Amino acid sequence: MPARRAFAGRRRLLPRRSAPAGAFAGPGLRGRRHGAPRHRRDVLAAAPSPPLRRDPARLARLARAALALCRAARVPAARGPGRRGPLALDSGPRDPDGLAPLRRLRPSDGSRRPARPRGLPLHPAGGTLISPAWVWAISGSLFILGAAFLVLRRQLIAMVIGLELMINAANLNIVYYAARRGDAAGLAVAFLVIAAAAAEAVVGLSLILALLRSDEAAETDRLQELAD
């Protein structure tokens, strides 16, 4: 008897073994080592969910939720034939699953042009151009101003500036009409004209600086010939 009581007390002091995680109960009577029973929600969570194409009710709910979000964000929804406003969210007899608005949508390929302000002419290539009258007015003003600097012949620096203005006036017309017709050769010619004008400015300024360093007059009426 005392030995039996001591053995029972020893069993009480021993730590209880934890049930193995994820163990299923046996088909018969549950024992000590069969593990804890699984809860119903764990079994449902572990089960694979059916795809959307096999669950039309779930797909319809998702579609209605997406349309509700679009309406909340004030995104214009698809419009049906003969309707003024956006489509209703509820399904009718012709739309039992409520997916008619999604069927009318088409995936965008990113080729849609951005919005442009009204009143501006649209170029066939997609850009906007100003009126040719403005181009002619600006280029004509620059050309007349450059010609006046050349005709007055007061100083060499003024003559170089006038020549640059005349070249830029001609180059402005080249760039405008090349962009209007979409001609890449015209743009290449414009780049060549810019390079020639830059070279002419460098050479002219270097000659003027050489004259100033040699204590020669930079005015054209006092300068008779260019020598070293």
Choice between 209 and 46, residue whose per-residue pLDDT is larger: 209
Q: Checking phi first, is residue 28 left (phi over 0); if not, alpha (psi -120 to 50) or beta?
A: beta
What's the one-letter identity of residue 156? Answer: L
Summarised one tens digit per residue, pLDDT across range 178-190 is 888 888 888 888 8
The answer as to CATH 2.40.50.100 being correct for domain 132-213 is no
**pLDDT tier at 44, thresholds 50, 70, 90:** low
Listed by start position, the domains of the chain span: 50-78, 132-213
Nearest CA among 126, 127, 144, 148 for reference residue 136: 144
Judge whether residue 54 has pLDDT over 50.
Answer: yes
Spatial distance between the Cα atoms of 60 and 72, rounded to a whole number of angstroms? 18
DSSP letter assigned to residue 54: G
Closest Cα to residue 33, out of 17, 13, 11?
17
Encode pLDDT of 106-126 as tens digits: 555 555 555 555 544 444 544
> What integer is the mean pLDDT of 10-27?
49
- Say if residue 90's pLDDT is above 70: no
Res 206 pLDDT > 60: yes
Q: Which residues of 2-15 are buried (b: 16+ CB within 10 A; e: fewer)?
A: eeeeeeeeeeeeee
On the 0-12 / 13-18 / 19+ scale of CB atoms within 10 A, 146 is buried
Provide the pLDDT for residue 203: 87
pLDDT range class, residue 60, cuts 50, 70, 90: confident
Lowest-confidence region among 41-50, 60-69, 208-217:
41-50
What was the pLDDT predicted at 88?
Answer: 44
Contact 171, 197 (CB under 8 A): yes
Q: Which residue has the higher pLDDT, 120 or 223?
A: 223
Two structure tokens written together for 176: 């405008």
3-state secondary structure of 219: strand
Confidence (pTM): 0.39
pLDDT digits (tens, 9 = 90+) for 134-153: 888 998 999 999 889 888 87
Q: Residue 144 corresponds to which amino acid?
A: I
